[in-house]
Amino acid sequence: MINRLSLLFVIALSAFAAGSYTVERKSSLTAAAEVITVQLPAGTQRSARFISASAYCSAQCEITLERDGALATTTALTPTKLNSTDGTVTAAAFRSSNVGAGTTIGRQIIGAGQMIVFVLQDIGLRAGETFTMRTDSITATVIINIQWQEY
């Protein structure tokens, strides 16, 4: 009986175990903005907590952090597991995202050829919520990385 309970506990625990994921996008922009969104689908039982994000711009640019815009539908990016033991990702990610305008929660200027790292451990998502990183309209190469955990 104890062995069965132990097995059920392990199975239940694995269903709620955290997985770590990342999404990365390098874009060559010409008088355009890059918009990267990570969102949890409406109705999911999972939650997400962000770890960090980084942005590089070859020319001076402004990065805006937003949350809770209308859910994006284009253009999909594929999140990557950070560990081989992580389960299937629940969150969806989008590039050149059509996410609706959200609440601005941060904004930084990055000098030409510089990178900035954002510590995001206090930002979480529940079903139907979004997190977005957006550049201003620029002509430059940008690289954006976002990392999160799901539980």
Q: What is the pLDDT of residue 18?
A: 80
Q: Tell whether the model's pLDDT for residue 10 goes beyond 50.
A: no
Other Cβ atoms within 10 Å of 140 Cβ, number: 21
Helices marked H in the chain — which ranges? 2-16
**Cα distances (angstroms) measured from residue 94 to each of 2, 14, 85:** 46, 28, 24
Q: Tell whether the model's pLDDT for residue 64 goes beyond 50.
A: yes
The share of the chain scoring above pLDDT 70, in percent, equals 89
Digit-coded pLDDT (tens) for 85-123: 999 999 999 999 999 989 999 999 999 999 999 999 999
Q: Among 9-18, 66-75, 80-89, where is mean pLDDT lowest? A: 9-18
The reported pTM is: 0.87
Q: Tell whether the model's pLDDT for residue 13 goes beyond 90.
A: no
Q: Tell whether the model's pLDDT for residue 6 goes beyond 60.
A: no
Q: How far apart are CA 46 and CA 127, in angstroms?
A: 7
Q: How far apart are CA 96 and CA 59, in angstroms?
A: 19
> Taking residues 26-51, what's their average pLDDT?
97
